[in-house]
Amino acid sequence: MAYIYLSKEGLENLINEINELKTKGRPDMARQIAEAREKGDLSENAEYDAAKEAQGHLEAKIAKLEDMLSNARVMDASSVDTSKVSVMCNVKVKNLKDKKTINYQLVSEKEADLKTGKISVNSPIGKGLLGKKIGDKAEINVPAGVLQFEVLEIFI
């Protein structure tokens, strides 16, 4: 697996999510399994089967998050090169069709949140903007068609 670049806040959120699942999720799941087990024959107990399946999903999620944590690298904003678009950069672009300007911050997939303007570096727009410099134009294929952007500003 490749490195996952996170902000300090993103790393803290990941650690908190893992701790929450381990300290609250696991005991809740154990309680549900115990309650289902008390309801009789396990071979015909759909509630027990569902609880065991949910436990499997919980453990898979914990394992996935722990794997992400082991591959996480914290990005220090002061070390980000703003001469070109990269992870952790904010980029102001102009849509060449409708002339509107948009600000995006390129972040890891884990931190992406379109409502706050944080897009994943693995998204079509993120990939299309990576490495661009001020004044560069980018043609980006998205599900709705082709977007054309001009990079106006790169900042932290």
Please indicate, yes or no, whether the overall pTM of this predicted structure exceeds 0.75: no
Chain segment 53-88, per-residue pLDDT in tens: 999 999 999 999 999 899 888 877 677 788 999 888
Kindly report the CATH number that applies to the domain delimited by 78-155: 3.10.50.30
Annotated domain spans of the chain: 4-74, 78-155
- The rounded distance, in Å, linking the Cα atoms of 105 and 126 is 9
According to DSSP, the residues that pair with 153 across neighbouring strands are: 92
Chain segment 84-127, per-residue pLDDT in tens: 998 888 999 999 999 999 999 999 888 899 899 999 999 999 99
Q: Which fold has domain 4-74?
A: Helix Hairpins (1.10.287)
